[in-house]
Chain A
Amino acid sequence: MESHPATLPAPHRAGIRLPGVGVGLGRGMVALYLSLIVLLPLAAVLDKSLSGGLGAFWDSVTTSQSLAALKLTVVCSLIVVAINAFFGTVIAWVLVRDEFPGKGAVNALIDLPFALPTIVAGLTLLTLYGAESPIGVDVAFTRTAVVVALCFVTLPFVTRAVQPLLLELDREMEEAAASLGAGGFTVFRRIVLPNLLPGILAGVLLAFARALGEFGSLILISGNIPFKTEVSSVFIRSQIESGNVSGAAAVSIVLLGISLLLLVLVSLSVRWTTHGESGFYDRIVKPLAARIGFGGIE
């Protein structure tokens, strides 16, 4: 029999399981990796954005072209999340309560926008809704194109947040309401919708955060016309290319600030709508957020 290794951590302390390396060394390596990959680069952006002082920062953010881009980004994102809140809920309903052949395939298809590279998403939309559209719908280089592309990339958020809630919803409540004489729409509005609201809200906020920073799917289809179809991320790139790097950094910081605020809102709003019951957040929102490009906030 092997002798008990002297280096073994005190066995009563549950789950000391970092093999080979000490915990301190492990933490050091994690800190180093995160600093090199994430923190230092972001610090450079913050530093650059403030390199001319707060006044210059403010001036860069409030140039007419930058403001036009920010406004377009926010307005389009709002329209998009409204569209997807509606259709996302409808699709979730159809996937949970309806039965039709090919349902499994449709369910898998929902995740396609996560898996499909954004540049392919843009190109794909352009083949059907661009200048050579076989159905005569040409929205290329318009604001409609921005909305369509953002609808595509944020499609799964609401559906995936609502689906599990709908699955768990107690059908007896609905049946009771119906037996008391409530019509289909009343049942939906008074019973179903309130129960789905946390999911819709979480999905909407995550989709909004995603839409704000979207770049790849827009670059081909939006035309990137300043004051017309240029969103903030595209504006940032054009400023880098024209040598106004501190301006690009300033707008980046604004964009970053809004996204972080939104992610805090996701966690707060969900806790609020579920009346402090954190199970929904831990079970549904966090994994969903992780899967589709946003981390949960502990």
Chain B
Amino acid sequence: MTASTPAKWGLRTLGLGYLGLLLLAPVAMIFYKTFEHGIGPPLEAMTSSDAVHAIWLTLLMVAVAVPLNAVFGVGCALLLVRHRWAGNAVIDGIINLPFAISPVVIGLSLFLLYGNDGWFGPTLQEWGIEVLFSVPGMILASIFVSLPFVVRETVPVLQEIGTEQEQAASTLGANAWQTFWRVTLPAIRWGVAYGVVLTTARVLGEFGAVTIVSGSISGKTETLPLYVAKSFEQFNEQAAYAGAIVLALLAFTTLLLMSVGGRKARSQSHSQSNPAGGT
């Protein structure tokens, strides 16, 4: 109503045009380039041993980093919300740090800790444990970059649901574990799930931090994003595009889960869903 018709059309063209040129057209282009000669070439590229290993390693990162950060996130959120303490502000500030830091700096920090002249590197090497340029270092990088998501998504939901139902449960004789599994967790599940989706997406796509600590050795320490970069740099564009498409499809799935999960999390925190009852 406020904008006249020409102004409305002008704004629409401007906004959608920008989105089209910056987001949609490039993404469409990479899909076109990948499937230009049918599904054969990308399929072949993705079934090469290096690509398969890269996919497997990426999934391993997710399998280790996401559960660790999910358990830490829920526990930490409970502590922050339900137990007032002077140290909470400090913990909260530290949790935000990974977001404020360039991924390259995160990679460098692990490099300095676990490298040959690092604080822990020489000792660990004596014990025969390789962290840098090896899978443990990459897992540490993945945990670092994705650490805040579950905490950040769980804290507001915990604040919203309050403690009445938990108090009722404990009055009725439930112990702390029972209360947590039967009352608290069901009530915060969408917030946690949303955080887990964001964590997974970040771990799947992490490039900067992992590239510094991995050494990017094909078939050994190469995740899918590293595989994409290396393939492209070695002029194996078909493989780079195919890997990018796999990651892009995962991103679209994330987007879908985000819009569904976000809506659920929001509607839940408003309507205080009743947790699964019964015994």
Contact = CB atoms under 8 A, between A and B. Distances in A.
A45 to B, nearest CB: 5
Interface string B111-147: 1110000110000000000000000000010011001
A295 B144 CA distance: 14
Interface residues of B, number: 107
Interface in A103-121: 106, 108-120
A27 B85 contact: yes
B257 to A, nearest CB: 9
Contacts of A100: 12
A168 interface: no
A87 B18 contact: yes
A188 B10 CA distance: 15
B55 to A, nearest CB: 13
Interface stretch (B43-51, B240-248, B270-278): B240-248
A14 B163 contact: yes
Contacts of B166: 15, 17
A213 B102 contact: yes
A236 interface: yes
Given A44-B109, A44-B113, A119-B207, A256 B78 contact: no
Q: Which of A9, A94, A184, A220 has the most CB of B within 10 A?
A: A94
A138 interface: no
B267 interface: no
B235 to A, nearest CB: 12
Nearest to B228: A119
A1 interface: yes
A30 B104 CA distance: 25
Contact of B105 (A1, A5, A128, A252): A252
Given A215-B207, A260-B100, A245 B105 contact: no
B253 to A, nearest CB: 9
Interface of B: 1-4, 7-8, 11-12, 14-16, 18-19, 22-27, 29-30, 33, 72, 75-76, 78-79, 81-83, 85, 87, 89, 91-113, 118-119, 140, 143-144, 147-149, 152-153, 156, 162-163, 166-167, 170-171, 173, 175-177, 179-181, 184, 198, 201, 204-208, 211-212, 225, 228-229, 232-233, 240-241, 244, 247-248, 251-252, 254-256, 258-259
Interface of A: 1-2, 4-5, 7-9, 11, 14-20, 23, 26-27, 29-31, 33-34, 37-42, 44-45, 47-48, 87, 90-91, 93-95, 97-98, 100, 106, 108-120, 123-125, 127-129, 134, 148, 151-152, 155, 171, 174-175, 178, 184, 187-188, 192, 209, 212-216, 219-220, 232-234, 236-237, 240, 245, 248-249, 252, 255-256, 259-260, 263, 286-287, 289-291, 293-298
